[in-house]
């Protein structure tokens, strides 16, 4: 019997490997990801106090990189981070992005002013480092489009709309600014047909894939803990959405990742 073909290589552009869900199991989680073809992962730090732990995970594992910022739902818990602090983190060679940052009015609308100040600080850090901004947006489409556009007019910066699940208008604004949209497990949910239509209208060269694990596991794992290996399930749905083979979709989104996350790019 001939050996089974190797899965196409793909990138999980956003996961949270420092979360307690993966405690004492991280080597196995990373091994399963690699077996599924997920050869590179970006683990995201969401609070300053977590920087040492997230950085250590990236240092300990080949193919694992990290990004750091203050999640908008946590922005009010400490003073707004200084640009200089983010620039200091970015001196690490495996730190590849700024964030996640953004706006979330779903549960924390009362902190919108501090969220907006924090977002602008992160944008300045992305502008000064050239590292991509990683945006979390929920129930804040108008303010998000306005701030991203205002800041881009003041000086360009690279950006990805992580776990994109917002409306068509925000997608169009982001794409007009040269930004990327990232597909998570939400895009694979049966009731996400409208979201898939929005994503399918985007240029293929602006699409990434991610898990946002341990959250948002795609079918057939929905309701269970998500992990980087499941990027492959979302990629299959992405391939169907764009009318491509899995191999072609994986190659395209990996090339997009290389173009945006230049520090984590596979050598030519």
3-class state of residue 153 by DSSP: helix
Rounded to two decimals, what is the model's pTM?
0.96
pLDDT at 2 over 70: no
Which value, to the nearest 10 degrees, does the dihedral of the CA atoms of residues 79, 85, 87, 93 take? -120
Asked if omega into 214 is within 30° of 0 (cis), the reply is yes
SS3 of residue 19 by DSSP: coil
Q: Which of 200, 267, 244, 218 is nearest to 36 (CA)?
A: 218
Q: Which residues are annotated as a binding site for a divalent metal cation?
A: 14, 16, 100, 136, 162, 212
Domain that holds residue 68: 10-263
Give me the count of residues in the chain. Answer: 268
Helix (H, G, I), strand (E, B) or coil at 162: coil
Flag whether 227 is in a domain. yes
Residues 6+ apart with CB under 8 A from 30: 17, 41, 61, 63, 64, 228
| Total of domains in the chain | 1
The CATH code of the domain that includes 138 is 3.20.20.140
Does residue 3 sit within a domain?
Answer: no
Q: What is the mean pLDDT of residues 224-247?
A: 97
CA distance 14 to 66: 9
The percentage of the chain sitting over the pLDDT mark of 70, rounded to a whole number, equals: 98
Q: Check pLDDT > 90 for residue 265.
A: no
The mean pLDDT of 97-124, rounded to a whole number, is: 97
The answer to the question of residue 4 being in a domain is: no
Nearest to 45 by CA among 85, 1, 2: 85
Residue 113 within any structural domain of the chain = yes
Radius of gyration of the chain (CA): 17
In a domain, 153, yes or no: yes
């Amino acid at each position: 019997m001939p050996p089974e073909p190797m899965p196409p290589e793909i990138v999980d552009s956003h996961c949270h490997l420092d979360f307690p869900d993966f405690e004492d199991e991280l080597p196995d989680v990373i091994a399963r990801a690699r077996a599924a073809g997920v050869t590179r992962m970006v683990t995201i730090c969401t609070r300053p106090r977590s920087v040492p732990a997230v950085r250590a995970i990236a240092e300990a594992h080949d193919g694992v990189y990290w990004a750091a910022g203050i999640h908008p739902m946590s922005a009010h818990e400490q003073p707004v981070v200084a640009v200089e602090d983010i620039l200091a983190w970015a001196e690490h060679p495996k730190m590849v992005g700024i964030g996640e940052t953004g706006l979330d009015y779903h549960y924390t609308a009362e902190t919108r002013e501090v969220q907006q100040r924090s977002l602008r600080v992160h944008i300045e850090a992305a502008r000064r480092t050239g590292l991509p901004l990683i945006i979390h947006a929920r129930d804040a489409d108008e303010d998000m489009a306005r701030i991203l556009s205002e800041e881009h007019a003041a000086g360009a910066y690279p950006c990805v709309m992580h776990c994109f699940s917002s409306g068509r208008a925000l997608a169009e604004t982001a794409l007009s600014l040269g930004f990327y949209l990232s597909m998570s497990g939400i895009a694979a949910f049966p009731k996400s047909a409208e979201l898939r239509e929005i994503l399918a209208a985007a240029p293929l060269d602006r699409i990434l894939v991610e898990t946002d694990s341990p959250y948002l596991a795609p079918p057939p794992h929905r309701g269970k803990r998500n992990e980087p290996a499941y990027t492959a399930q979302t990629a299959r749905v992405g391939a169907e959405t764009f009318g491509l083979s899995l191999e072609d979709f994986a190659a395209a989104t990996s090339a997009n990742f290389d173009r945006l996350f230049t520090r984590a790019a596979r050598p030519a």
